Chain A
Amino acid sequence: MTNKLSASVAGGTESPLLRRRSGFAHRRSESMGAYTLLLPFLLLLLLAGLIPAAYALWTSLVNRTGSFAGIDNYVNVVTDFRFTSTFLNVFATMVLYVPLIVIIAVVFALLIHASSRRLSASVRFIFYLPGAFAGIANFVLWLYILDPTVSPVRWIWSVLGYDSLGEVAQGSNVPMILSLILLFQGVGSWMLIVYGALNTIPEELIEAAELDGANAFQRAWLIVLPILKPWIAYLSIMNIAYALQLFLEPTLLGNATNGKISPEWTPNQLSFTFAYGVGDLGAAAAMSIILLVLTLGIGLFIVTRTDLFGDAE
């Protein structure tokens, strides 16, 4: 620390002796000030992040009697007959959901960006509104939509030949249903984000392309999209991470269909069952650590490989 300090102080000073002493004092008080200001956040990071993660790690490495169990819990988790299917399930959902939300968010952001202010503002508000019905409120909305006996769009279900919620929510439809539910509540916010990014593109660039003879589609494809690439990557990866930790919607769908959807459909649900269904806290902790490592990996990828956080340096 002393070296860094003196090095940074030494650069660009006039009277080294005098400046060095007061510079050092400045640095110290600056550091102290910084740590004081950061204290609340760091404390929370400790309490809500580091300590639980450490405790989870410890719990995952011991067995029920408290003695060291090595990777036994991890082996149990990974060889559980439901482990692979939970990841297959979220993968099936991701494969539908992520492309859909990226495409819809980007396309509509582009469309809105090219529209008049009034139309743009109205459409933005309309799309964002469902975001207010987040989580369980959104799910109630979809219970209403998905149940053919009460749905405001029941003609869709009768065309598909479904008479009951159980048929609509049958196993093979679940990834699609989940995607729709997540899309409805999420597309508004993500669209706003892309729209905001679009606003940072200089007008001249687009006008120049227009003068060169590019039509709207070509302008979007050749100029805007490449600039949006880091945003698209960010969007995709964030939603992959989100799909990975699904819990609420599959659980509620299971309740609403009287148990026809497995209560261990997603990895997080499996962790929950380990904790409370079977009472195996070591396995639950191991599952949490696995999910944590996966999402940390995703996070690391975003932070280090995309350009989005370059300004953070």
Chain B
Amino acid sequence: MKKLMLGNEAVARGAYEAGCSVAAAYPGTPSTEITEYISKYDEIYSEWAPNEKVALEVAIGSSIGGARSICSMKHVGLNVAADPLFTVSYTGVNGGLVIMVADDPGMHSSQNEQDSRFYARSSKVPMLEPSDSQECKDFVKQAFSISETFDCPVIVRLSTRVSHSQSAVELSDKEDYKLKQYSKDANKYVMMPAMARKRHVEVEKRMAALREFSNESRLNKVEMTSKDIGVITSGISYQYVKEAMPDASVLKIGMVHPIPEKLIADFAANVKTLYVVEELEPFFENQIKKMGIKVIGKEKLPIIGEFSAQLVAEKLLDKKFDSQEASNNAVPVRPPVMCPGCPHRGMFYVLKKLGLTVSGDIGCYTLGALPPNEAMDICVCMGASIGVAHGLEKARGADFRKKTVAVIGDSTFIHSGITGLIDIVYNKGNSTVIILDNSITGMTGHQHNPTTGFTIKGEPTKQVDLELLCKSVGVDRVTVVDPFDIKEFEKVVKAETDADEPSVIISQRPCALLKHVKYEGSHRIIQDKCKKCRMCMKIGCPAIVEKGDHLEINPALCVGCKLCTKICGFGAIERAGE
């Protein structure tokens, strides 16, 4: 039976068919749906972990415990999980262990464009890369088998266009995988210097065996046509090459680490001109050049951003395409915005009004950096807002600190913000941290987290009490406030930034997109009362617009959160009649 599936959904299906029984992840675009789809299979235990490091550690534990296990994350998540990755490469596995990592060339929803293939090489772990949904399923199943055959974790690399493209997948039955025996083996699983030295020898033996395997494996395949042009490629780039250069011979690499050196040498010997088409870094190219083979790659193709079939044809075949971009000059850009009813809007209004320096973090609220609020100075990575605020204080002193706050979402705070807060308390900092508690992990599309009180399957569970947590690490000043109570919010921010001790403000209001959040519906501007002072526009709500000589509220967008009614000094906004 064939089914249309997202790449991410096909990964989940592959895990299911392989008899995988434990899955852990932290959400991150473009990887999130893998674990969301896995959670729909009752045969697989699944969880949202507090961060990627914990997720991988859970998967390592279940693998050692004998279960086929999968752990999924976005590219930057692998940075967080890198510590266990490098050592599980030494311990090896018991039940198969597959690590899914989704890169984001073009940065559709990311803060950098890193190429995860280097992790495979530096941690000495094999890596596979599928190019469509069918391969997503097939490669995940093969990854489990390689993991067990070679006693190592296997990384499967995706990219946005593979993760988020749907194509047809042939479904198969679930394998009847039996939990493997667990037996204590300190020489394999306790990585102290004496044991690790021996394991490193095993790792090098394994890599040598995998290099042979790569040459023989059907994961790598040659599609020979003409002898004029040969292209070595992998993943989504393969699709662009097939589209743009139907006459070229292609070596499609499915096992991107270790690369199939013999296969590459044979292929190179059979074509006149050899290209490497790979997004981001010259990962294959540099290795192929090191083999002494003449190959053209980054001298023609960009190192930045996504490819397309057109780009490949332009750069390698010198094809010209009519560019009509001039006609587009008049089209205003449409950057993403905080949704109508977003609780963060009230908070950013206050922070901007007070002219504070804002150390930001990763989530929907990063949009506070864009106009009209522009109320964010710095944003680096998950959890960084708090450490950065502390560093600002240590560099610039108390006066600067009193005009500075860190802002961080509930899920991000649990991910890696709590350690920063402990640092502030321990090292006598006095910064103010605002935790945006919107009852969900927002940007990635509503996943539960330890502060929501529900598991990935929606089952009730213990809920981390943010107030109690902050107090317990030594923050005495913890205030909970509604960001739509603008006056009170402003008062609290002033008082807490002014205090000469660390403080936490929990800005509490649920995400407007949550099903249980019911606002009363769209509002309108009473034109007779409106003085056109434009105060309501300062909150940057996409529903409030200027039409001709007056302001109005777009009824298709307004949810009725009433934030604007609190800003309007003339009572000119009211509930719209039916």
Are the chains A and B members of one assembly? no
Could you tell me which B residues sit within 8 Å of A by CB distance?
none
Could you tell me which A residues sit within 8 Å of B by CB distance?
none
